[in-house]
C-alpha cells in the first residue's frame, strides 16, 4: 500500500557548502572513540578494559538492562583510554587502531532464519544499536515486536548527505538488511524515497516504498511515520537510518561488522566540500584540514547536520549515527543594531525587514549566532508553518516544560522525536531550545511510564 506523501508545511534552509559528489578516502585515523552518550538512555557495562586488544566487531560494552545487547568496536586495535565523567560515567572509549585490520567473524547469516535468531544475531553483533524505537526515540527494546519499521531514504535536512549517492551500489546489503528487518515486525517495513530520486532503496523487496516531496522535514522519519501510520498509545515502531542498513546488510551477508561509511563533509567553512569514505568513530581532524578549514579558524564542527547534530572538537570523533560532518563559522560576535536593521544575509520565515523571501533560491552562509536572546514564548502561528505533523507544537512543548505527563500523552508525545522539532527551534523568535525540551520530556515519560 504505497502512498505518495506530499507536505507543504516546512522550510528548506539552503546553505552554502553542499558536498560535491566525489568520494575520497579519508586519512586513516589512528584513534577512534565510541561515546556511550550516542546511545541515549543506555547504561553501559564495560567489557573491554584499558589495555585490552579488540578486533573490529568485538564487544566494548553491553547494555546494563539487557546484557545480550552488545556495542562493538569499529576497528581492531588497543583500548588506550576510558574517559570518565562525574560519578564514573563513561564518556568515551578510545581505541588506537592497528595498521592491519582484523575482523571478528560472525559467520554468514541464513536470511531464512526466524525472528528470534535474527534478533539474537543483531544483538550479539552490535547491529542492534542501529535500531531505534518510538515512543521515546531510544534504542529499541528487544522484547517488543513493533507494528512497523520506518526507514527514510530521503535526506531533506540542510547540507545532508545525498543518500542516492552514498548508497549507490549497495543494493545487496540494503536488501539483506530489509529482508531481515521485515521478519521482526507484524506490519511492514516502510521506506521513503524522494519523488524525483534514483534511490537504490526504491525497488527493494519485503518493503513498502513511499515517494515523498516537499520542503524539509519531508525526509524526516517522523514525518513518514505521522503520514503513513501514526503511533498510538501502547504501540511501538522502529526506525533505522538508511546508511546503517548497509552495515547491517554487510554483517548478514559476510559475517563482518564493517564500520565503513561514506560521509559528506559540508558547510560554508569548508574550502572543498566533498564525500569521504571513513569509519564510525573516526577522528574529526582526519577529514577537515585537507582542503577544508584553516587550523585554529573560528569554526564549529558538527557531527551531523546543522539542525540536530552534535558539536564536536577537531580532536574528537564522528558520532555513531552521522553521515555528515558540517563545518560552519562561529557567530560569537556582536552585531551593531542587529535587531532592527534590514537583514539580507540570514534566513527568516517572516518579512520583518528580513529579506530572504526575495530570493528563495539563494544559498546562505549562516553562523552559530543565536540572533537574539532567550525569551518566554510570545509569538504564535510561526511554528505551525514549518511543522507538518498533526500535533500542536507550542502546546506540547509547554506541556513538557511543566511536566504534565497526561497532557504530553494526549498531545501526541509518543509520536515525536527531538529532531521533529528542529525546524520549530530554528524559527523560534524566543530562541527556546525545543529539541532539548522534547528530549527531557521524553526522558521523563520513559522514566515514569516506561
Partner 1 sequence: MGLKNNLHNFKEKNKDKKWLPGFNALFTFLYMPNETTHNGTHIKAADDLKRTMNTVIMALVPCLIFGMFNAGYQHYLAQGLIDSADGFLGASFWTLDNLTVGLWKVLPLVIVSYGVGLAVEFIFAIIKGHEVEEGYLVTGMLVPLIVPVDIPLWMLAVAVIFGVVIGKEVFGGTGMNILNPALTIRAFLFFAYPTWMSGDKVWIHGAVERDQMIAAGQNIDAISGETILGSLAQGKEVAYSIWDMFYGIIPGSVGETSTLLILLGALFLIFAKIGSWRIMLSSVVGALVMGLIFNGFVDAGVITEGSKFYGLMSTEFWHHLLIGGFAFGTVFMATDPVTASQTNKGKWIYGFLVGFLSIMIRVFNPAYPEGVMLAILLMNVFAPTIDHYVVQGNVKKRMKRLKAKTA
Min CB(400)–partner 1 separation in Å? 14
Residue with cell 528563495: 360
Distance of alpha carbon 267 from its chain centroid, rounded? 17
CB of 367 to partner 1, least distance (A): 7
User: What CA–CA distance (Å, rounded) separates 450 from 442?
Assistant: 10
Residue 272 CB partners (closer than 8 Å, separation 6+): 20, 291, 292
- In angstroms, what is the minimal distance from the CB of 341 to partner 1? 9
Q: What is the DSSP letter of 356?
A: G
| Nearest residue (CB) to partner 1, 165 versus 392 | 392
Q: Which is nearer to partner 1, 78 or 443 (CB)?
A: 443
User: Looking at beta carbons only, is 25 or 370 nearer to partner 1?
Assistant: 370
* Residue with grid cell 546489503, as numbered in its chain: 173
Residue pair 150/417 in contact (Cβ under 8 Å)? The answer is no
* Nearest residue (CB) to partner 1, 118 versus 221: 221
Minimum CB distance to partner 1 smaller for 18 or for 173: 18
CB of 123 to partner 1, least distance (A): 29
- Nearest in space to 158 (alpha carbons), one of 307, 310, 376, 355: 307
The sign of the torsion formed by the CA atoms of 169, 172, 173, 175 equals positive
Q: Which helix (H) or strand (E) holds 396?
A: helix 393-401
Smallest distance from partner 1 to CB 89, Å: 17
User: 273-312 in b/e burial notation, b at 16+ Cβ within 10 A?
Assistant: bbbbebbbbbbbbbbbeeebbeeeeebbbbbbbbbbbbeb
Q: How far apart are CB 250 and partner 1 at their closest, in Å?
A: 31
158 contacts 305 by C-beta, under 8 angstroms = yes
Minimum CB distance to partner 1 smaller for 290 or for 390: 390
Closer of 28 and 410 to partner 1 (Cβ): 410
As measured in angstroms, the least distance from the Cβ of 12 to partner 1 is: 13
Cβ atoms 304, 311 nearer than 8 A: no
Taking the least distance from each CB to partner 1, the nearer of 227 and 434 is 434
Peptide bond preceding 217 in cis form (omega within 30 of 0): yes
What dihedral do alpha carbons 24, 27, 30, 31 form, nearest 10°?
A: -60
Minimum distance, C-beta of residue 264 to partner 1, in the bound complex (Å): 16
Q: What value, to the nearest 5°, has the Cα angle with vertex 241 and ends 289 and 53?
A: 65
- DSSP three-state, residue 433: coil
Amino acid at each position: 500500500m504505497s502512498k505518495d506523501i506530499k507536505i507543504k508545511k516546512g522550510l528548506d534552509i539552503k546553505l552554502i557548502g553542499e558536498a560535491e559528489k566525489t568520494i575520497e578516502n579519508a586519512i586513516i585515523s589512528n584513534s577512534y572513540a565510541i561515546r556511550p552518550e550516542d546511545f541515549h538512555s543506555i547504561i553501559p557495562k564495560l567489557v573491554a578494559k584499558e589495555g585490552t586488544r579488540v578486533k573490529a566487531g568485538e564487544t566494548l560494552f553491553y547494555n546494563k538492562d539487557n546484557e545480550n545487547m552488545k556495542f562493538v568496536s569499529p576497528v581492531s586495535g588497543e583500548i588506550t583510554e576510558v574517559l570518565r565523567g562525574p560519578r564514573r560515567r563513561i564518556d568515551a572509549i578510545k581505541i588506537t587502531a592497528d595498521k592491519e585490520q582484523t575482523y571478528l567473524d560472525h559467520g554468514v547469516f541464513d536470511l531464512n532464519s526466524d525472528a528470534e535468531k535474527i534478533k539474537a544475531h543483531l544483538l550479539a553483533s552490535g547491529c542492534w544499536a542501529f535500531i531505534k524505537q518510538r515512543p521515546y526515540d531510544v534504542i529499541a527494546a528487544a522484547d517488543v515486536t513493533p507494528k512497523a519499521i520506518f526507514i527514510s531514504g530521503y535526506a531533506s535536512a540542510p547540507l545532508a548527505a545525498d543518500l542516492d549517492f552514498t548508497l549507490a551500489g549497495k543494493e545487496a546489503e540494503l536488501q539483506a538488511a530489509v529482508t531481515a528487518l521485515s521478519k521482526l515486525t507484524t506490519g511492514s517495513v516502510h521506506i521513503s524515497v524522494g519523488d524525483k530520486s534514483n534511490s537504490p532503496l526504491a525497488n527493494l523487496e519485503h518493503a513498502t516504498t513511499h515517494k515523498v516531496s516537499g520542503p524539509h522535514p519531508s525526509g524526516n522519519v517522523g514525518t513518514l511515520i505521522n503520514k503513513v501510520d501514526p503511533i498510538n498509545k501502547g504501540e511501538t515502531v522502529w526506525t533505522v537510518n538508511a546508511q546503517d542498513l548497509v552495515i547491517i546488510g554487510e554483517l548478514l551477508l559476510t559475517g563482518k561488522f564493517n564500520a565503513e561509511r561514506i560521509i559528506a563533509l559540508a558547510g560554508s567553512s569548508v574550502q572543498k566540500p566533498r564525500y569521504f569514505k571513513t569509519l564510525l568513530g573516526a577522528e574529526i581532524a582526519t577529514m577537515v584540514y585537507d582542503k577544508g578549514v584553516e587550523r585554529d579558524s573560528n569554526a564549529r564542527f558538527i557531527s551531523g547536520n546543522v539542525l540536530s547534530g552534535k558539536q564536536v572538537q577537531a580532536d574528537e570523533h564522528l558520532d555513531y549515527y552521522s553521515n555528515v560532518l558540517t563545518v560552519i563559522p562561529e557567530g560569537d560576535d556582536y552585531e551593531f543594531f542587529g535587531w532592527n536593521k534590514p537583514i539580507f544575509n540570514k534566513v527568516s520565515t517572516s518579512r520583518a525587514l528580513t529579506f530572504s523571501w526575495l530570493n528563495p533560491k539563494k544559498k546562505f552562509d549562516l553562523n552559530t549566532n543565536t540572533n537574539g536572546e532567550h525569551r518566554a514564548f510570545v509569538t504564535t502561528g510561526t511554528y505551525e508553518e514549518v511543522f507538518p505533523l498533526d500535533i500542536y507544537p507550542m502546546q506540547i512543548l509547554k506541556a513538557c516544560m511543566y511536566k504534565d505527563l497526561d497532557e504530553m500523552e494526549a498531545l501526541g508525545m509518543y509520536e515525536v522525536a527531538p529532531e521533529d522539532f528542529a525546524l520549530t527551534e530554528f524559527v523560534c523568535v524566543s530562541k527556546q531550545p525545543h529539541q532539548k525540551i522534547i528530549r527531557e520530556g521524553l526522558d521523563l515519560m520513559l522514566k515514569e511510564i516506561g
